[in-house]
Amino acid sequence: MSTDVPMMNIPAAAESKPLGPVAKVGHFLDACIRWSTELCAAVLVVAEVALLFANVFYRYALHDPLIWGDELATLLFIWLAMLGAVIALRRNEHMRLTTFIAHLSPSRRALVDTFGAVVVIAFMLALLSPAWDYVSEQWPITSAALSISDGYRVAALAVGLTLMLAISVARLMEQARPLHFLASFVVVGGIAAALMAFKVQITALGNWNLLIFFVGAVVFMIVIGIPIMVAFGLSTVAYLGTVTFTPMLIVMGRIDEGMSSLILLAIPLFVFLGALIEAMGMARAMIRFLASMIGHLRGGLSYVLVGAIYLVSGISGSKAADMAAVAPALFPEMKKRGEDENELVAMLSASGAMSETIPPSLVLITIGSVTGVSISALFTGGFMPAVVGAIAMIAVIWMKNRKREVKGVERAKPRDVIKAFFIALPALALPVVIRAAVVEGVATATEVASVGVIYTFVVGLLFYRSFDWKRLYPIIVSTASLSGAILIIIGCATAMAWALTQSGFSQQLTTLMAHAPGGATGFLIISSAAFVVLGSFLEGIPAIVLFGPLLFPVARSLGVNDVHYAMVAIFAMGLGLFAPPFGVGFYAACAVAKVNPDGAMKRVWPYLGALAVALSVLVAVPWVSTGFLS
């Protein structure tokens, strides 16, 4: 989702005016929250890396496992997630769709942004009291190893919601026009009053009321740029509060359940790892090696682009990190060779879609967490689907460059290729180290990221020596922000999926999909099309958290292998994520390359068409996903 557009925009002229008394209070409050949350989150990221690596070291090297290690990691993790969500809200980095509101005039955009901020406040207010009640509810429960109250852990939810409420209020005080605020308050209050007034009638609609809350309301909020976590969470709260007697305390329990799975701790650690790979110079070393081997061929650097995305994706787990690492290293030289910048962005975008299944993809980790599929099996099954996608990409590149003349490009001498290989070898070894640590039982799928972080630090500092220590703190804070934005979506989507299950919708969906024409093949085709659409609007993680628990049981009942279905779903969502006009990954690629989307949009379709063919192969040939499973 786009994160480069502020939640509330104001004209530049207004920004230069002296702040009024109310705006000054809001600015001061915002600054206090910024410094306190960013520093605490940075400390937590470092603490989690150290703790998980200590778990591995004590268990594998000293044969004396830290019994309390996982409990402490879980406690710190929920605090990291919520503080990260606070930072993401303050920095306007929550996942949200800005495709439509970006075209509004400044005055209309200001009104929509103010309305969005009021909606965020309404969501926080709805859960604030239940969140603190949830702390009281959990306080008598003590942990087994640490023997401390669980209230210390779940207090993170209450504190995080309180701080997000404070940030939203501060932003309104700083930037909102009084008339816009009044209009937004009246509309939001009017909607709430209407839901209460027509509660009986809405309840009488049966499951048709799901269209009001989980289609109409969610789509409306996403379209006007409200963060996805609020769209999911507020629609769930509104549904349960209107048509059921479910206490909001249960909603907090489901959010806690969604965010507290220890396997999800791999998300911030792999995000951190991805940023370190680029900062340490390891990504550049790998790209130089690939360029020395095949850069002299027709379209040679295009092949390098595909290969580089494949290699980097296998380490970083973050698509934004992948593109940011590869584009600056390759694009200048490709432009010198006459490549059109729109073609470059088209290839970059399609390569991002191709590599979604490569471990340790954050989507793989998430899908394993919410569906119970083995993370190790998903990591093993993810390589070959991406190979099929890469072959499809290479076929298009070959077709486009088969008659192209190559001038002024010399083939690298063998000794230069060998030199580049040895320079890149420590970086190329990282995916091997990560996979070996999991397969050999040295580390779990959660802990292995800490091994990767330590390895990257050591190798980067000893071999590449290009790291600027001034970048470390911003990298850590950005890690917390992105992780918080992802994890709170998972929490809200878990609550939403629970509400859909309680309504009976999941059973209806199961029955409908189980009787799809064509049996298992028909089900896979329908799922592929659905996930392409969902991926373009929601990104992979929100979509899979919401629909994974509903659709994976159907797939199992039809005899579809879990890993096969996961690869089809993830590849399809990647295709939707990077497909214009709605795929937000496409616009992220344009932003990385600083290219206008209009020109690139015309060039991306041949590559996406090739990936659609690759998706068909994944659907038809289960071996691609399951052939290497033991």
Q: Give me the pLDDT at residue 409, please.
A: 66
Q: Using a pLDDT cut of 70, give the percent of the chain over it.
A: 92
DSSP 8-state class, residue 102:
G
40-63 tens-digit pLDDT: 999 999 999 999 999 989 988 888
C-alpha 184: how far from chain center: 30
pLDDT, one tens digit per residue, over 21-34 is: 767 777 778 888 88
Segment of 75-84, 262-271, 533-542, 543-552 carrying the highest mean pLDDT = 75-84
Of all residues in the chain, what percent carry a pLDDT higher than 90?
A: 31
Residues 293, 430 contacting (CB under 8 angstroms) = no
- Mean pLDDT for the stretch of residues 434-439: 78
Question: What's residue 22's pLDDT?
Answer: 67
Of the listed ranges 363-377, 407-421, 504-518, the least confidently predicted one is 504-518
- Split at pLDDT 50, 70, 90, the class of 136 is very high
For the segment 468-481, the average pLDDT, to the nearest whole number, is 91
Which pLDDT does position 318 carry in this prediction?
Answer: 61
Instruction: Quote the strand ranges of 354-460, DSSP E.
Output: none
The average pLDDT across 580-601 equals 74
Q: Read off the pLDDT band of 16 (50, 70, 90).
A: very low
Name the DSSP class of 149.
Answer: B
| Of 192-206, 423-437, 559-573, minimum mean pLDDT range | 423-437
Distances (CA, A) of 437 to 373, 433, 444, 446, 618: 19, 6, 8, 11, 28
pLDDT band at 317, cuts 50/70/90?
A: low
pLDDT higher than threshold 50 for residue 7: no
DSSP code of residue 463: I
Q: Which residues pair with 142 in a beta bridge?
A: 149
Residue at token pair 């073609």: 343
Cβ within 8 Å of residue 49, ≥6 positions away: 269, 272, 450, 453, 454
Q: Give pLDDT, residue 406.
A: 62
The DSSP code for 490 is H
407-420 pLDDT, tens digit each: 666 777 888 889 98
How is residue 413 annotated by DSSP? Answer: P
pLDDT of residue 389: 92
In this structure, of 11-20, 107-116, 424-433, 451-460, the range with the lowest mean pLDDT score is 11-20
> According to the model, what pLDDT value does residue 314 have?
61
Lowest-pLDDT range of 8-12, 49-53, 159-163, 224-228 = 8-12
Residue 1 has pLDDT above 60, yes or no: no
pLDDT above 50: residue 2: no
Above 60 in pLDDT, residue 9? no
| pLDDT of 332 strictly over 80 | no
pLDDT at 539: 61
At 5 the pLDDT is: 33
Average pLDDT, the chain: 84
- Distance separating alpha carbons of residues 606 and 392, to the nearest angstrom: 10
- Whats the size of the chain, residue-wise? 630
**Quick check: 11 pLDDT over 90?**
no
Tell me the C-alpha distance between 39 and 256, whole Å.
23
Q: Is the pLDDT of residue 14 over 50?
A: no
Range with the largest mean pLDDT of 370-374, 388-392, 515-519: 388-392
> pTM higher than 0.75 for the full model?
yes
DSSP assignments along 525-576, one per residue: HHHHHHHHHHHHHH-HHHHHHHHHHHHHHHHHHTT--HHHHHHHHHHHHHHH
